[in-house]
Amino acid sequence: MGRRYSVAGGDNVGSNDATLNMSAGGTRRPAIYDVIVGVEATPSDTALKWQAQRTTVGSQAGSAVTPALLDDADSIANSTAMTAHTVQPTYVTGVILEMAMNSRSTQRWVASPGGGLFISVTAGNGIAMRVQVTAGAALTGVANTMFHFEE
């Protein structure tokens, strides 16, 4: 089994912005196998669409997040993560995971063995979870994403 890590972040619900972006570090190929999305803002009946999309090396800027070890015996992660983007990552065309939900609920996607969201090993290549309001009440606040990944 590969080394396993957890990373989480959140950002204000905007116009299809990334809540969390995870990128390979150049040494080991990561794969996301667990995704949890939710909203910590004041509850409202708002329809949200979450999309995972590949990203490449770009001019993204925001707050770096250090992946936490799920097994203390492992070494630190080679991958990096960023949240609260001030500059969005560069997206690759094509959605690789999509979920729609009411903002009052929380959704989780879990991969079967071998069915993860694989990222190429090149440093900077990654996957971002984007969120947008599609219908319903206005929503002001932070939407949260958590990845569990192995590399």
Partner 1 sequence: MKESGMIITTPLGSDKVTHTPTVMCCHCGRHWEFKPGSGRKRGFCMRCNGITCGSNKCDVCVPLEQMLDNMDAGRDPTHRPVIISVPKDVPGDI
β-partners of residue 98 are 51
Determine the Cα–Cα distance for residues 123 and 108; give it in Å rounded to an integer: 27
Q: How far is the CB of 49 from partner 1 (least distance, A)?
A: 13
Among 4, 28, 29, 49, interactor with partner 1 by CB under 8 A: 29
26 Rama class: left (phi>0) / alpha (psi -120 to 50) / beta = left
Residue labelled with tokens 């949260």? 144
Q: How far is the CB of 40 from partner 1 (least distance, A)?
A: 17
Binding to partner 1 (CB under 8 A): which residues in 93-132? 94-99, 101-102, 104-112, 114-115, 117-122, 125
Q: How far is the CB of 113 from partner 1 (least distance, A)?
A: 9
**DSSP character at residue 76:** P
Structure token pair of residue 48: 């949200």
At residue 75's C-alpha, the angle toward residues 71 and 11, to 5°, is 75
Residue 69 vs 99, nearer CB to partner 1: 99
Residue 15 vs 112, nearer CB to partner 1: 112
Report the interface residues with partner 1, using CB under 8 A.
29, 94-99, 101-102, 104-112, 114-115, 117-122, 125
